[in-house]
Structure 1
Amino acid sequence: MNDRTSDTHLLGALLDAIPDAVVMSDAAGTITRANSAAGKLFGHDPADMVGNRVNMIMPRALAKRHDDFMQGHLETGQARIIGRGRTVEGLRRNGDTFPLHLSIGRADHDGGPHFVAILHDLSQRHATQEALSRSARLDAIGQMTGGISHDFSNLLTVVIGNLELLEPHLSDDTAQAMVRDALEAAELGADLTDGLNAFARKAPSHSQPTDINTSCNAALSLLRRTFDPRYVITAHLSEDLPPVITDSTQLQSALINIALNAREAMGDGGTLIVKTELVDIDDTYIAQELDVAQGAYVRISVADTGRGMGPDTQQRVFEPFFTTKPVGKGSGLGLAMVYGFVRQSGGHVTVYSEIGHGTTIGLYFPIIDPLNANTSQQNNDIHPPRGKDQTVLIVEDNAQVRKLSVARVNDLGYNVREADSGDTAAGILRDDPDIDAVFTDLVMPGDLDGLALARHVVATYPHIRVLLTSGYAEDILSRQGETLNHEILCKPYRQSDLAKALAALFQAR
């Protein structure tokens, strides 16, 4: 082996050790080298990228600007884009665009200029910034509404007090009726300010060690007495849950508020399922997925079979006065009060919903003694089972969740292909004989949702394993008429849960 070949191998090893994507090109914009990270980032085999123009990893608008920039640099020598980092958009093989930080360097070699681009994926950073911005917006609204509600409470106290003093001195029945109407309206106003205080986390709280199941049973008892028989209410309450610090009365009120919203969403009938369980958010992945601190929590999941919510509604569902109900049918404070109460308890609220498939709201309460919680399960998860170089096709329409799933499965020792829909996945399965398993979300747009894709795989590729995942409870799906003949991994799941599910999938065959 001569020195030049040795240097080439050394450069290749160096590039593949770099976690960020590195793409080299010549003056014509033809890719001369791409490292492994570039292949993973853009969804191409690095070897297939070589010989193509760098435009293949750019959206059309950016590709045109890039050609103009490079032509201008080559003609004038001005380094407007050389040696300066900037944020641009990248284009994956499946057509998805995503944010990138791009830095370009130049080196003159073999009589001509060559360019090196270092690209860092900003998707997770942008998602985190969006979550922080949403949280900051809710906090800002909370501060504003807290101040307004305080002033209105003082005014209403004066109004109610004077009306109560005035009523006994009136002998005219009509005048007394008018006072009573005014009192009723003022008391409704007082209830409204109580709701604003709850969202602003300024409502009086009587937090103490609380048994979650006792509070849930109390709320469920009331709901079963008041809900129409068309609405089926079931509960799956885990035994021996550790206590949490919260206000039991406010917790029951929160559950009732969620249930009333669910009933509204279910129209003429449906199923409501309340589930409690102990969860350990002890790995980075699930903490990112939920935007919640790591630790041990008691989770209450309230799932319904209603009409569901789109992404825009989910973004605003906890804002005070935001409602999708007709005028006069709701104040928009119910879920805002839930959010404020749970955050006041040191917990977190999540929403999982799809149009036409219902909604699941999760309430997370940190437990009192996390050191003694679920230690046996933690000890068993120190060395989760790993893959043996099998190839898993991940099918998920949410780009952020798909990126996270790819990273999780990669970390477990599997090769990964990805698709943003069941239809795209069917094409990949047709063209790639090396797929060993399909890991797909159940609810997706297109002709093939997750369940239809699973049936297609069983019928056409019986040697390929199938693992389903969903944010909905399995019994919710079964009550909607779905036949789940495959293993299902419920979101959000821990990395160890994913490792065990995939390992069991391959051991079963």
Structure 2
Amino acid sequence: MTDQTFDALMLMALLDAIPDAVLMSDADGIITRANPSAGTLFGYDPAKLIGQSVNMLMPQSLSDRHDGFMHSYLETGQARIIGRGRAVEGLRSNGQTFPLHLSIGRADHDGNTHFVAILHDISARQAAEEALARSARLDAIGQMTGGISHDFSNILTVVIGNLELLQARITDDETQAMLADGLEAAELGAQLTAGLTAFARKAATQRTSINVNAACKAALGMIKRTFDPHYKISAELGADLPEVLADATQLQSALLNIALNGRDAMPEGGQLIIRSEAISIDDTYIAQELDVAEGDYVRISVTDTGRGMGPDTQQRVFEPFYTTKPVGHGTGLGLAMVYGFVRQSGGHVTIYSEIGHGTTIALYFPVLGEGSAQHPAVPPKPLEQRASANQTVLVVEDNPQVRKLTTVRLRNLGYRVQEAASGDHAAEVLQQDNDIDVVFTDLVMPGELDGLALARHVVASYPNLRILLTSGYAEDILNRQSANEPGVKILRKPYRQSDLAAALSALFDGGSSLHSLTSQVKE
């Protein structure tokens, strides 16, 4: 073997080992080499990229200008990106655009110019930055409102006190009525100020070691007395939960606030579920929730079957005075007070919602340290099981961050992975690829085929394939909304790596799991 042959083999091995995408092209932008990671990143067979223009991997707005950029660089030598790197947009084979970091190097050989591009998907980083910015914005608003509420409280103290003194001295009915109206307005102002104080995390709290389920049951009683009979209210409370440090009264108030918001989103009636459970959040979980620190928690979630929220509303829903209700029908402080209370308790709040499919708001409270709780801490779940037979899983998920996370998780478990951004795209992949063993699909997706419709399609057309569904909503809500699919197995988001491993392993443990699931989807 010559040195030249050895160098070529080492280069190929290096390209195969690099986790980032690497593309090589000539001066005209024609791809001459692509490593496996490039194929994974853009959704192409790497071999089929050879001979194609790099423009096919860019959105139209960028590809229209790319050739001009390169010709200008070759003529003038002015490097705007060579050796520097910058954030750009890429285009996957399914037409989806995504953010990536691009670095380009140049090499000249035998009078020919060649370029090497290294590309890295930065979707997760951008999502983390957005979550951090949102948290910082809420913290800044909290600091501002804390000062305002303090000063306004002093003003209202004087106003209310003087009105009460006047009320004691004046006897005629007309003036008494005017004073009563003034006092009522001032009391309303005091309530708004209390809400601002709670959001700013400066309200006085009685933080003690509490039994979460007892607080949930107390809140449930208030909610049932408040709601009309055409709302169905239920609870799923975990057994032997560890205790947390919080104000029980404020927790009950927070749950009532969330429930009332859920009721407003279900004007024609609907279902509300309060659930409590002990969870352990690890690094993988953090990548999904972004704003939840590592550790052991008790999670209380409130799920409704209402109208749901779009992404813009979810970004602002915890801000003071932000409301989607008509003027005069809400202060916009209910969820802001919830956010302030939970953060003041050292916890976290997350929201999962989609238009037309309801909302789940989850409160995370850190478990008390060893020795301070009456119940033992949550035992760690066993490590993830490894895939035993190198099976292939088709991940069907329209959220690019969740899809990327799921792909990484599955590969870490030893599975091969194919991706689809919708049920319609998944149907095309299944038609072209005979090596898929499992379809792992989200339930709520755009297009003609949502997750359940895709599952029915798979059962009818590919009876040997396993199916696993996932969703961010409570299982019983989904099952009751889809009355013809009772008992369909659903892996509830957010889930841990061990939960995913166990769910997939169950599908391959004999034929019973497959038969049970497919028969349920057929019904």
- Give TM-score scaled by structure 2 length: 0.94
User: 2:250 is paired with a residue of what secondary structure?
Assistant: helix
Q: Deviations over 1:160-203 (max 9, x none)?
A: 01111111111211111111111111111101100011111111
Partner of residue 208, structure 2: 208
Partner of residue 40, structure 1: 40
In structure 2, C-alpha distance between the alignment counterparts of 1:405 and 1:382, rounded to whole Å: 17
Deviation, 1:62, is 1.3
Matched, 1:495 2:501: no
Partner of residue 433, structure 1: 434
Decide whether the 8 Å contact of 1:426 with 1:453 is kept in 2: yes
In structure 2, C-alpha distance between the alignment counterparts of 1:458 and 1:149, rounded to whole Å: 59
Query: Which residues of 2 match residues 359-378 of structure 1 at below 5 A?
Result: 359-369=359-369, 372-375=376-379, 377-378=380-381
Matched, 1:411 2:412: yes
Structure 2 residue runs without a partner (length 5+):
512-523
Partner of residue 87, structure 2: 87
TM-aligned CA distance change 1:485 to 1:323, over 3 Å:
same
Decide whether the 8 Å contact of 2:479 with 2:487 is kept in 1: no
Decide whether the 8 Å contact of 1:241 with 1:298 is kept in 2: yes
In structure 2, C-alpha distance between the alignment counterparts of 1:72 and 1:161, rounded to whole Å: 75
Partner of residue 260, structure 2: 260
Identity %: 68
Partner of residue 288, structure 1: 287
Q: Please tell me the residue identity of whatever aligns with 2:244.
A: V
Q: Please tell me the residue identity of whatever aligns with 2:466.
A: R
In structure 2, C-alpha distance between the alignment counterparts of 1:348 and 1:79, rounded to whole Å: 46
In structure 2, C-alpha distance between the alignment counterparts of 1:387 and 1:102, rounded to whole Å: 36
Partner of residue 518, structure 2: none
In structure 1, C-alpha distance between the alignment counterparts of 2:429 and 2:487, rounded to whole Å: 23
In structure 2, C-alpha distance between the alignment counterparts of 1:385 and 1:154, rounded to whole Å: 62
Partner of residue 454, structure 2: 453
Partner of residue 394, structure 1: 395
Query: Which residues of 2 match residues 1-400 of structure 1 at below 5 A?
Result: 1-282=1-282, 284-291=283-290, 292-369=292-369, 372-375=376-379, 377-378=380-381, 381-400=382-401
In structure 2, C-alpha distance between the alignment counterparts of 1:436 and 1:136, rounded to whole Å: 44
User: 2:265 is paired with a residue of what secondary structure?
Assistant: helix
User: 1:29 is paired with a residue of what secondary structure?
Assistant: coil
Q: Deviations over 1:69-93 (max 9, x none)?
A: 2112222333333212111111111
User: 2:180 is paired with a residue of what secondary structure?
Assistant: helix
Deviation, 1:387, is 4.9
In structure 1, C-alpha distance between the alignment counterparts of 2:126 and 2:444, rounded to whole Å: 25
TM-aligned CA distance change 1:30 to 1:485, over 3 Å:
farther
Partner of residue 509, structure 2: 507
TM-aligned CA distance change 1:129 to 1:383, over 3 Å:
closer
Deviation, 1:269, is 1.2
TM-aligned CA distance change 1:224 to 1:298, over 3 Å:
same
Deviation, 1:99, is 1.4
Decide whether the 8 Å contact of 1:296 with 1:370 is kept in 2: no
Q: Deviations over 1:128-172 (max 9, x none)?
A: 110011001111111111111111100000000111111111121
Deviation, 1:261, is 0.7
Deviation, 1:488, is 1.1
Deviation, 1:3, is 3.7
**Count of matched residue pairs:** 505
In structure 2, C-alpha distance between the alignment counterparts of 1:335 and 1:370, rounded to whole Å: 32
Deviation, 1:4, is 3.2
Partner of residue 517, structure 2: none
Q: Deviations over 1:459-491 (max 9, x none)?
A: 001111110000001001112124155421100
Q: Deviations over 1:10-32 (max 9, x none)?
A: 10111122222111111121111
Partner of residue 481, structure 1: 482
In structure 1, C-alpha distance between the alignment counterparts of 2:350 and 2:233, rounded to whole Å: 21
Structure 1 residue runs without a partner (length 5+):
none
Deviation, 1:285, is 1.9
User: 1:429 is paired with a residue of what secondary structure?
Assistant: helix
Q: Please tell me the residue identity of whatever aligns with 1:470.
A: S
Q: Please tell me the residue identity of whatever aligns with 1:75.
A: E
Partner of residue 516, structure 2: none
In structure 1, C-alpha distance between the alignment counterparts of 2:247 and 2:177, rounded to whole Å: 38
In structure 2, C-alpha distance between the alignment counterparts of 1:485 and 1:164, rounded to whole Å: 61
Larger CA deviation: 145-154 vs 246-255: 145-154
User: 1:493 is paired with a residue of what secondary structure?
Assistant: coil
Q: Please tell me the residue identity of whatever aligns with 2:492.
A: C
User: 2:174 is paired with a residue of what secondary structure?
Assistant: helix
User: 1:266 is paired with a residue of what secondary structure?
Assistant: coil
Deviation, 1:507, is 2.1
User: 1:28 is paired with a residue of what secondary structure?
Assistant: coil
In structure 2, C-alpha distance between the alignment counterparts of 1:241 and 1:29, rounded to whole Å: 60
Partner of residue 421, structure 1: 422
In structure 1, C-alpha distance between the alignment counterparts of 2:222 and 2:62, rounded to whole Å: 59
User: 1:89 is paired with a residue of what secondary structure?
Assistant: strand
Deviation, 1:216, is 0.6
In structure 2, C-alpha distance between the alignment counterparts of 1:2 and 1:505, rounded to whole Å: 50
Deviation, 1:53, is 1.2
In structure 1, C-alpha distance between the alignment counterparts of 2:495 and 2:244, rounded to whole Å: 22
User: 1:356 is paired with a residue of what secondary structure?
Assistant: coil
Matched, 1:464 2:478: no
Q: Deviations over 1:410-440 (max 9, x none)?
A: 2111111111111111111111111111110
Q: Please tell me the residue identity of whatever aligns with 1:499.
A: A
In structure 1, C-alpha distance between the alignment counterparts of 2:17 and 2:495, rounded to whole Å: 30
In structure 1, C-alpha distance between the alignment counterparts of 2:245 and 2:89, rounded to whole Å: 45
In structure 1, C-alpha distance between the alignment counterparts of 2:110 and 2:202, rounded to whole Å: 70
Deviation, 1:370, is 6.2
In structure 2, C-alpha distance between the alignment counterparts of 1:439 and 1:382, rounded to whole Å: 21
User: 2:494 is paired with a residue of what secondary structure?
Assistant: coil
In structure 2, C-alpha distance between the alignment counterparts of 1:296 and 1:342, rounded to whole Å: 16
Decide whether the 8 Å contact of 1:101 with 1:121 is kept in 2: yes
Decide whether the 8 Å contact of 2:384 with 2:501 is kept in 1: no
Deviation, 1:118, is 1.1
Decide whether the 8 Å contact of 2:479 with 2:488 is kept in 1: no
Decide whether the 8 Å contact of 1:21 with 1:41 is kept in 2: yes
In structure 2, C-alpha distance between the alignment counterparts of 1:319 and 1:385, rounded to whole Å: 43
